C-alpha cells in the first residue's frame, strides 16, 4: 500500500520500533501541518492509506473528494475531525481503537499543576537572570481538586490528588458521577457549585459535539480569584475566548494549558502563551516514546489488516458490505 503518515511534528515516527511493521509498503511521513484543502488534496491524492496523529488534520467531505485512491484512514482515539458519513459514501474505511489510559497525560497534568502553583517556570527564569525568590507559591495539601470528567484519565488524576492529601470532588455526566462515588470521591451537586468550590479545576473530557464549549464564561467567572484552571484535554471544551477574558478579569487567577484553539502555536501568536499567570506546554501530554509506540503500533496494525483484506476496528462497517 501507499501510506501517508501525517503531522509528525517531531519527526520521530520513523525511529519507532512500530514503524518496522510497514516494511514492504511505500511510506511517506509529513512533518508540517497543512490546512488548505486544495494543498492537502494535491499532497495526498496518490495515497491508499492515511495514518493520522490525533485530530491534527480534519478529514472533510471536501478533502475526500480530492483523494480518489484512498481506502483507509487509521488512527487511535476519538475521531470528531473525520467526516465518517462522507468516508462511508466514498467507500473509505475508518479504523480507530482506544489504547488504554494515557498515563502520560495524567502525569503532565500534575506537572502543570505543580509548575503553576509553585511558579516554577517563572522562578527558573528569575534565577537565570540573577534574582532569588521572587514570589510566593501555594501548597496543595488540603485544597479542593475539581476533576471534570471521570474517565480513564480523570480517574488517574483524581487518585494522584489523593496522594497529595487533597480533597477531591468530581463533576461530569451521570455515569462519571456514579463511578466517582463508587471509588469514594465526593461529587458536586451541579456544575456551577463545582467551579465555585474548587481551588483547582482540571478538564478530562472527550471532545464530542455535546461537550463543545461545555465550560462557559459564567463557569470561569464563578471560580475563586486564586484558583487554577487546567486543560490538558481539548481547547474547544471551553467556550471560545472565554478563558482569555476570564484570566484578564481575574477569575480564575491562573491557568495551566497543554491545548489551544489552533495548533501548532508558533511564534507565540496565542495570547494565552504570553500571560504571566498562565503556564503553557505545546500539547505534549501524550508525546512520549512509550505512548507513541503504543498508538502507532495500533494504527499501523489497522492498515496492515486492511491490506490483508481482514480490516479491524472499523467505525463504518457499511463500507465492508458495499
Beta carbons of 204 and 173 less than 8 angstroms apart: no
What's the pLDDT tens digit per position in 261-299?
988 888 778 899 999 999 999 999 999 999 999 999 999
Distances (CA, A) of 243 to 28, 240, 255: 38, 8, 9
Mean pLDDT calculated for residue range 139-146: 98
Q: Which of 292, 148, 299, 164 shows the shortest CA–CA distance to 232?
A: 148
Q: Which CATH superfamily is domain 103-280 in?
A: NAD(P)-binding Rossmann-like Domain (3.40.50.720)
| pLDDT number for residue 241 | 96
What's the pLDDT tens digit per position in 24-64?
999 999 999 888 999 999 999 999 999 998 888 999 999 99
pTM for this prediction: 0.89
Can 283 be counted among the known catalytic residues? yes
Domain 2-100+289-321 has CATH 3.40.50.2000: no
Instruction: Write down the catalytic residue from 107, 263, 293, 301.
Output: 263
Work out whether strand 144-148 and strand 200-203 pair parallel, antiparallel, or are unpaired: parallel
What's the pLDDT tens digit per position in 104-136?
999 999 999 999 999 999 999 999 999 999 999
Separation of alpha carbons 138 and 212, rounded Å: 32
Mean pLDDT calculated for residue range 293-307: 96
| pLDDT number for residue 321 | 81
Burial tier of 47 (Cβ tally within 10 Å: 0-12, 13-18, 19+) = buried
Enumerate residues 6+ apart whose C-beta is below 8 A from 280: 256, 257, 258, 272, 273
Q: For residue 238, which phi and psi values (nearest 5 degrees)?
A: -105, 135
Separation of alpha carbons 234 and 316, rounded Å: 25
Q: Where exactly are the structural domains of the chain?
A: 2-100+289-321, 103-280
Instruction: Write down the catalytic residue from 71, 119, 204, 234.
Output: 234
Beta carbons of 133 and 110 less than 8 angstroms apart: no
What's the pLDDT tens digit per position in 204-259?
999 888 999 999 999 999 999 999 999 999 999 999 999 999 999 999 999 999 99
How sure is the predictor about 313, in pLDDT bands with cuts at 50, 70 and 90? very high
Beta bridge partners of 168: 145
| pLDDT number for residue 208 | 86
| pLDDT number for residue 55 | 84
Amino acid at each position: 500500500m501507499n501510506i501517508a503518515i501525517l503531522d509528525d511534528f517531531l519527526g520521530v515516527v520513523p525511529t519507532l520500533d512500530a514503524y518496522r511493521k510497514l516494511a514492504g509498503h511505500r511510506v511517506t511521513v509529513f512533518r508540517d501541518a497543512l490546512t488548505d484543502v486544495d494543498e492537502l488534496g494535491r499532497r495526498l491524492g496518490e495515497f491508499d492509506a492515511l495514518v493520522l496523529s490525533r485530530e491534527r488534520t480534519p478529514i472533510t467531505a471536501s478533502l475526500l473528494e480530492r483523494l480518489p485512491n484512498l481506502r483507509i484512514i487509521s488512527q487511535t482515539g476519538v475521531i470528531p475531525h473525520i467526516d465518517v458519513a462522507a468516508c462511508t459514501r466514498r467507500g473509505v474505511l475508518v479504523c480507530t481503537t482506544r489504547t488504554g489510559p494515557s498515563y502520560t497525560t495524567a502525569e503532565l497534568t500534575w506537572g502543570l499543576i505543580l509548575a503553576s502553583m509553585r511558579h516554577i517556570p517563572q522562578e527558573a527564569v528569575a534565577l537565570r537572570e540573577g534574582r532569588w525568590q521572587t514570589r510566593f507559591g501555594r501548597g496543595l495539601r488540603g485544597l479542593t481538586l475539581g476533576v471534570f470528567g471521570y474517565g480513564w484519565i480523570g480517574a488517574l488524576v483524581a487518585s494522584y490528588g489523593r496522594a497529595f492529601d487533597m480533597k477531591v470532588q468530581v463533576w461530569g455526566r451521570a455515569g462519571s458521577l456514579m463511578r466517582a462515588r463508587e471509588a469514594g470521591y465526593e461529587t458536586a451537586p451541579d456544575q456551577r457549585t463545582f467551579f465555585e468550590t474548587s481551588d483547582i479545576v482540571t478538564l478530562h473530557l472527550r471532545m464530542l459535539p455535546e461537550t463543545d464549549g461545555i465550560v462557559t464564561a459564567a463557569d470561569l467567572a464563578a471560580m475563586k480569584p486564586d484558583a487554577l484552571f487546567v486543560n490538558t484535554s481539548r481547547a474547544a471544551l471551553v467556550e471560545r475566548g472565554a478563558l482569555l477574558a476570564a484570566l484578564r478579569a481575574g477569575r480564575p487567577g491562573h491557568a495551566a494549558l497543554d491545548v489551544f484553539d489552533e495548533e501548532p502555536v508558533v511564534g507565540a501568536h496565542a495570547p494565552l502563551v504570553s500571560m504571566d499567570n498562565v503556564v503553557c506546554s505545546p500539547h505534549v501530554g501524550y508525546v512520549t516514546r512509550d505512548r507513541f509506540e503504543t498508538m502507532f503500533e495500533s494504527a499501523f496494525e489497522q492498515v496492515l489488516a486492511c491490506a490483508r483484506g481482514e480490516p479491524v476496528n472499523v467505525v463504518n462497517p457499511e463500507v465492508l458490505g458495499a
